[in-house]
Amino acid sequence: MSNTFSIGGDLTVGRLGYGVMQLTGPGYFGWPADQDNAIAVLRRAVELGVTLIDTADAYGPLVTDDLIRRALHPYPENVVIATKVGVTRPRPGEWAPVGRPEYLRQQTELSLRTLGLERIDLLQLHRVDPQVPIEESVGTLAELRREGKVRHIGLSEVTVDQIRAAQAVTPIASVQNLYNLTNRTAGDVVDYAEQEKIAFLPWYPLAGTGMADPDGAFAATAARHGVSLNQLALAWLLRRSPVMLPIPGTSSTAHLEENLAAAAIELSDEEFAQL
């Protein structure tokens, strides 16, 4: 099993990345209580070999983008910053999709400035706006790509049919859907992504680990390997598909180090089948 994947065929990253949403205030809104800690976690991630960092203009909003720039700019050549546009944040706890072309363009320009980039390596449509055809929203991202402001285009929370519709407009390099051990409803999207060699970034990858049956196969497998339930959940995702790029988030350096150690766990065919 390879420990790297090339997004869009030319952006090679380690398959275990880092998602920054938790480096914000309550409700993923506003600034974290300890900005120095957030910056330290970002720097430690890169020190430990993370080359894929996932953010979004909606986190904060723009809080995590600013923290990333302060922590890591000028960026190491091998670090890929993936971000998302297409969601507004009226207040804490609220997420409203907006896929109008003028908004997507405005937010992309804002993300470029906040991150301190001339080009975004991977720009993902954060959500499909039910009021705007996906072809229209993705078409705007394709225009930004032609202008040299975006390298690759991705999608988030989409069906296979929506991916196909977007592919009719422009190449799609990544998909980011909810997927984990306890919620596998996007299994068909994972399979399609693997078929198309599209990176699949599962968000909320550690959901459900705290509810594991202490007498079940999950806990027994973790004990046998001497690892935490979270580490085993990440190892399972990595084994699920070669295009899988988990991006577990945390605001703790200790948890970050624990999560990244999951890349070294090797599950047997029998263990994978049991899980």
Residue positions annotated with a catalytic role: 59
Q: Dihedrals φ, ψ of 187, to 5°? A: -55, -35
Report DSSP letters for 85-133, one per residue. ESEE-SSTT--EE---HHHHHHHHHHHHHHHT-SSEEEEEE-S--TTS-
22, 53 in Cβ contact below 8 A?
no
Tokens of 179: 């997927």
* Cβ atoms 200, 189 nearer than 8 A: yes
- Contact between 81 and 117 under an 8 Å Cβ cutoff? The reply is yes
Q: What is the DSSP letter of 33?
A: S
Burial zone of 147 (CB within 10 Å; 0-12 exposed, 13-18 middle, 19+ buried): exposed
DSSP state of 238: H
With 0-12 / 13-18 / 19 or more C-beta atoms within 10 angstroms meaning exposed / middle / buried, residue 27 is exposed
CA–CA distance, 232 with 246 (Å, rounded to integer): 12
Paired tokens of 198:
């599209």
Cα dihedral 177, 108, 138, 94 in deg (nearest 10) = 50
